[in-house]
Amino acid sequence: MTLRKSSIADRVYETVKDDIFEFRLLPGDKFSEGDVGERLDTSRTPVRQALFRLQREGYVDVLFRSGWQVKPLDFQKIAELYDLRISLEQATVYKLGALPEKPLVLRTLRDIWNPASRAERAVGSTVRALDESFHSDLVAAAGNQEMSRIHREITERLRVIRRLDFTREDRIDATYREHAAILTALEENDPALAAKRLAKHIHSSHAAVQEITIERLREAAEEQRQLISSA
Amino acid sequence: MTLRKSSIADRVYETVKDDIFEFRLLPGDKFSEGDVGERLDTSRTPVRQALFRLQREGYVDVLFRSGWQVKPLDFQKIAELYDLRISLEQATVYKLGALPEKPLVLRTLRDIWNPASRAERAVGSTVRALDESFHSDLVAAAGNQEMSRIHREITERLRVIRRLDFTREDRIDATYREHAAILTALEENDPALAAKRLAKHIHSSHAAVQEITIERLREAAEEQRQLISSA
DNA sequence: CTACGTTGACTTGTATACAAGTTAATTAGC
DNA sequence: GCTAATTAACTTGTATACAAGTCAACGTAG
């Protein structure tokens, strides 16, 4: 069979990426292929394969004969990715508006984001997953798989930041409100309005997150410093 | 210095990609890491690095313990990439329309695509390069580098196809006419019209190319078959 | 002649060895 | 004590060795 087994390289890829997402590897941290290989009990070969993939995806950089580095947070680039997301999702809602009939997924999303009571709302960490689904489901509904793929890549890339978006109750409130409003505009076949609301929603999400990212990052760095000094 | 030397892996990457673009490697062709390494006089290590990169970019596939394959042409996927290009470039012209002042590049493009006389028009193979520049320069002018990067990736991916777009004189005529019309709409600050013309332009380019791709591909396969039988 | 099992060459996946270059600590000179 | 040169430990880039699986050709039984 040509069905891919799960390779060691894949495991390394997932592990290192998760380390970055969970701030076990902080932006700016340096490390070597040997380090990673030893920690995951494997040779440098699959490690390199995984790291080069992460490099192409923008998470790490290789310094010639001088180790690897987790890419420092570049707020300019993050802003551009948010902006690109807006463009893609706006294109999406216009596509949805042009469809002969509304895709079923809109009803499903409505059920999630317009709950009968506040009690039925999701909490904490699941809100982030639901939020990601909302946006990627919309894009997927437009039917262009390549667009979905690019959108997914961008979403992943922003996840390091977006994980901080739902620690505040007011952000959860806003998300429910804004998602519902976007769905309403779509149901009423007003793509221009949906596009406008979408842009505003993503912008405010970006702004809210930017505000707390640096602080949380500083905390993570502090934690790590204490771990090292106590060892 | 951390300035990257040109590595063997990079050379292999460029060479194999060029082989695909120039139909020396045809869609569906199978080959092994050893083949490539021998031909480029290097070991499998940098070859693998290059091939995995090409895999992530969608040009080749690895079959578990059974060689590599140039990805067969998937016309559905190509259509999706064209469609995605339209979405990105439409987003671009709306961005350009919202800028406080028109970027200088518009004047440069106008000079190229609205020549004083027919004699000043480019011919043959350079038209393709100019056409690629037209579209990527527009996107770049909007100022989002991440968007430019994605757009460039898509353009590269479509180059295998688009190289056939300018073999016919009527397509060159149409390209000059349509590019000029798009620029006019932009100069007159009518992004909606520019977007409309852009979509139509890319669509017709796609349609024209699709029509001749299969035939040219068949010819290339025939050529290769004769090379083999005469060897 | 056909169907099928066996075998052996070939393929990628992973580990290891070596080459080339970087970096930082240490030591010699003053 | 300080500066500078040397050196030794690391680092990635590439080549090679080995493990594990695939596949097609060939031979054999019927």
A96 plus A182 within the same structural domain: yes
Could you tell me if residue B86 is inside a domain?
A: yes
A148 contacts chain B (CB < 8 A): no
B196 domain-assigned? yes
Confirm whether A46 is domain-assigned: yes
Q: Which of A25, A47, A72 is the last residue of a domain?
A: A72
B79 and B105 both lie in a single domain: yes
pLDDT score, position A120: 81
Distance of A205 CA from C18 C1′ (whole Å): 52
Q: Is the CB of A32 under 7 A from strand D?
A: yes
Say whether both A177 and A206 belong to one domain. yes
Token reading at A125: 């960490």
Q: How far apart are CA A81 and CA A87, in angstroms?
A: 10
Structure tokens at B81: 């990439």
In B, which residues are within 8 Å of A49 by CB distance?
48-49, 52
Q: Which amino acid is at A94?
A: Y
Within 10 angstroms of residue A139's Cβ, the number of other Cβ atoms is 25
Predicted confidence (pLDDT) at residue A220 exceeds the cutoff of 80 = no
Residue A139: inside a domain, yes or no? yes
List the CATH number of the domain containing B33. Answer: 1.10.10.10
For residues B40-60, average pLDDT: 98
Whether residues B185 and B101 share a domain: the answer is: yes
Asked which of B4-18, B69-83, B109-123 is least confident by mean pLDDT, the reply is B109-123
**Domain-located, residue B225:** no
> Among B110-114, B128-132, B138-142, B220-224, which stretch is predicted with the lowest mean pLDDT?
B220-224
Subset of residues 166-225 in chain A with CB less than 7 angstroms from any atom in strand D: none
- Please report the pLDDT score of residue A48 as a whole number: 98
Are B91 and B154 a contacting pair, CB within 8 Å? no
Look up the CATH number of the domain holding residue A146.
Answer: 1.20.120.530
Residue B229 predicted with pLDDT over 70? no
Query: Bigger pLDDT: B117 or B146?
Result: B146
Distance B66 CA to D26 C1' (A): 21
| Closest residue, chain B, to A143 (C-alpha) | B80
Same domain, B66 and B155: no
In-domain check, residue B177 = yes
Report the helix count and the strand count for chain B, using DSSP H and E.
Answer: 9, 3
Across the range B12-35, mean pLDDT stands at 96
Whether B7 and chain A come into contact, CB under 8 Å, resolves to no
The mean pLDDT value of chain B amounts to: 91
State yes or no: pLDDT of B160 exceeds 90: no
Say if residue A85 is in the same domain as residue A98: yes
**Residues A164-175: tens digit of each pLDDT:** 788 888 999 999
Q: Is B37 a member of any domain?
A: yes
Contact A8, A46 (CB under 8 A): yes
Q: Chain A contact for B83, CB < 8 A? A: yes
pLDDT value of position B228: 62
List pLDDT tens digits, range A5-50: 679 999 999 999 999 999 899 999 999 999 999 999 999 999 999 9
Q: Is the pLDDT of residue A69 over 60?
A: yes
Whether pLDDT at B4 is above 60: no
Same domain, B163 and B85: yes
Q: Tell me the mean pLDDT in the region A63-77.
A: 95
Q: Residue B180: which residues within 8 A CB-CB, separation 6 or more?
A: B110, B113, B114
Residues B45 and B95 in one domain: no
Task: Check whether residue A172 and residue A103 sit in a common domain.
Answer: yes
Q: Which residues, in sequence order, are CB contacts of A181 under 8 Å at separation 6+?
A: A197
CA distance A48 to chain B (A): 9
> Is there a single domain that holds both residue B52 and residue B111?
no
Question: Which residues in chain B belong to E strands, given as ranges?
Answer: 30-31, 60-62, 68-70
Q: What confidence score (pLDDT) does residue B191 get?
A: 97
* Average pLDDT score over residue span A182-196: 97
Give the H or E element holding residue B52.
helix B44-56
B13-17 long-range contacts (CB < 8 A, ≥24 apart) are B13/B49, B13/B50, B13/B53, B13/B54, B15/B40, B16/B50, B16/B51, B16/B54, B16/B60, B17/B54, B17/B59
Measured on CA atoms in the order B228, B229, B230, B231, is the torsion positive or negative?
Answer: positive
Of the residues A72, A97, A122, which one is the last residue of a structural domain? A72
C1' (D26) to CA (B229) span, angstroms: 25
Q: Are B84 and A5 inside 8 Å of each other by CB?
A: no
Classify residue B1: in a domain, yes or no: no
pLDDT of residue A1: 41
B35 CA, D23 C1': Å apart: 18
pTM: 0.92
For residue B30, give its domain range.
8-72
B94 token code pair: 């709306």
Last residue of a domain, one of B30, B46, B72: B72
Q: Are residues A84 and A42 located together in one domain of the fold?
A: no
What's the rounded Cα separation, in Å, for the pair A205 and A200?
A: 9
| Structural domain total, chain A | 2
What is the interface size between A and B, counted as CB pairs within 8 Å? 68
Chain C: positions less than 7 Å from a protein CB are: 10-17, 20-23
The verdict on a CB contact (< 8 Å) between A84 and B150 is yes
Residue B179 CA to residue B133 CA, distance in Å, equals 12
Model confidence pLDDT, tens digit, residues A90-113: 999 999 999 999 999 999 999 999
> Six-digit token pair at A198?
């979408």
Q: Are residues A49 and A126 in the same domain?
A: no
